Amino acid sequence: MQPTPARRSNQTWLWVLLGAGGLCAVCGAAAVALAGLGLVAGASDSTGPGEVSAAEQPGAAGGFALQVPASFALVAEGRWRFEKAEGSARHTVDVIKLPSVSAEAGPVAALTQQWNAAIVRDWPGAPTQVLPLRRFVNNGARAYFTSAQLTAAQNDHPSLVSLYLVEADERLEPFVVLQEFFDKSVGAAIVAQYSFDQSQPAVEEFIKGVEGSPVGRRLVDEAEVVGAWRHGSGASMQYVHVLTGSTTFSAVSYTIGYTFGADHSFRYEYSGANTQLGSTTFGGDRDTGTWKLEHDLLVLDGERFDRKFFIVGAGPGPAGRRVLYLVPEGHWSLSPGAIAQHGQLYEEAE
């Protein structure tokens, strides 16, 4: 069960939750997230989570610029490819620049529209409702994006498909990123699902050449954080005695709740159940305190413990309610696997 954390003045206690396997409150949104959530990690090396260049002021004008790294070869106009050999396997990253679109409808609405126009048309099984995620590009401008693990009609292996929309004054500059794994050896189709960590560094290298505008804004506005949020998960296993046929089971489940007030107060509640061989125990925890945003971090100063989360997603989720996607301190990573494992997807409580 959840341990009771003690208060410490010089240390932030980390809260590690089960991420990609959520089965309770956020099942609808999590179904769209897939492994693609791992593309989120905050800014590039030049601007890390919680940081902003001293030369950049909120709302500063800029423009859109794209400098393609030398490791990407030009395939066709507006399309570049990175390739990495690993024994008999080959990792590739394709980047396709799309025409700019108006930002009048808002970046979240534009993200859904562009996803349906550019991805759903050509990828069988692609969801039509997407989870809006956010990150910074190289100069601190915001990029809105979404991702999904999909399989093209002519392929027998999955691809990680991502659509980015970079803020650029009164327009949004979109580009698609395709991460793929090619190998004909036995079990390659299974390995492909976990291969995207290997090509993620190339994606980040490409992002270092992307600039947008304006720069210096927070990743998420305070109004998007205010509200009541719920995150939950659970798992169970049944055991059958091979001789007698008798059965028993074990299970674990929990629900996390945060309420963030407009006055910057917060309330935290945890409840969980642990069943071992049919015997169930329950536990819970609570805390109150204040919250604030430090650029792209959600910082909680509680009466009993402190926490920091990197905000990687916000906005209306696929189920229609608002969502917050958070990664706890100590697990910020550019790896798709790391973000999928440690990310916490909260849905607005009814």
Minimal CA–CA distance to 126: which of 164, 152, 99? 152
The answer to whether residues 259 and 324 touch, using CB atoms and an 8 Å cutoff, is no
Tell me which of 168, 192, 211 is where a domain ends: 211
What span, in angstroms and rounded, lies between the C-alpha atoms of 296 and 14?
17
Looking at residue 15, its pLDDT comes to 25
Query: What pTM did the predictor assign?
Result: 0.78
Residue 202 lies in a domain: yes
Residues 145 and 88 in one domain: yes
Residue 37 lies in a domain: no
CATH number, residue 174? 3.40.1000
Residues 203 and 226 in one domain: no
Residue 14 lies in a domain: no
Q: Is the pLDDT of residue 165 over 80?
A: yes
Q: Is the pLDDT of residue 61 over 70?
A: no
Tell me which of 181, 211, 241 is where a domain ends: 211
What span, in angstroms and rounded, lies between the C-alpha atoms of 107 and 219?
13
Residue-wise DSSP of 285-314: EEEEEEEEEETTEEEEEESS-EEEEEEEEE
Residue 36 lies in a domain: no
Amino acid 282 reads F
Asked which of 79-88, 152-161, 183-192, 217-226 is least confident by mean pLDDT, the reply is 183-192
CA angle 131, 174, 64 (to 5 degrees): 125
If you average pLDDT over residues 92-120, what whole number do you get? Answer: 94
Amino acid 87 reads G
Residues 336 and 310 in one domain: yes
pLDDT in tens, 173-199: 999 999 998 887 766 666 766 788 889
Q: Binning pLDDT at 50, 70 and 90, where does residue 44 land?
A: very low
Strand, coil or helix: what is 284? Answer: strand
Residues 142 and 244 in one domain: no
How many separate domains does the chain show?
Answer: 2
Residues 63 and 197 in one domain: yes
Q: In angstroms, what CA-CA distances link 275 with 80, 154, 269? A: 52, 45, 20
Amino acid 299 reads V
Residues 110 and 166 in one domain: yes
Residues 123 and 197 in one domain: yes
Residue 236 lies in a domain: yes
Residues 66 and 190 in one domain: yes
Mean pLDDT of the chain: 80
Residue 266 lies in a domain: yes
Q: Which domain holds residue 92?
A: 54-211
What span, in angstroms and rounded, lies between the C-alpha atoms of 38 and 330?
15
> CB count, 10 Å around CB of 283?
14
Residue 105 lies in a domain: yes
Residues 204 and 277 in one domain: no
Looking at residue 253, its pLDDT comes to 87
Strand, coil or helix: what is 198? Answer: helix
Minimal CA–CA distance to 194: which of 204, 205, 207, 183? 183
Residues 286 and 328 in one domain: yes
If you average pLDDT over residues 329-338, what whole number do you get? Answer: 76
Alpha helices, DSSP H, located in 21-62: 27-33
The answer to whether residues 166 and 65 touch, using CB atoms and an 8 Å cutoff, is no
Residue 6 lies in a domain: no
Residues 287 and 139 in one domain: no
Residues 73 and 200 in one domain: yes
The answer to whether residues 108 and 14 touch, using CB atoms and an 8 Å cutoff, is no
Tell me which of 178, 211, 244 is where a domain ends: 211
pLDDT in tens, 272-287: 888 887 678 888 899 9
If you average pLDDT over residues 309-315, what whole number do you get? Answer: 92
pLDDT in tens, 132-152: 999 999 999 999 999 999 988
Looking at residue 189, its pLDDT comes to 64
The answer to whether residues 295 and 1 touch, using CB atoms and an 8 Å cutoff, is no
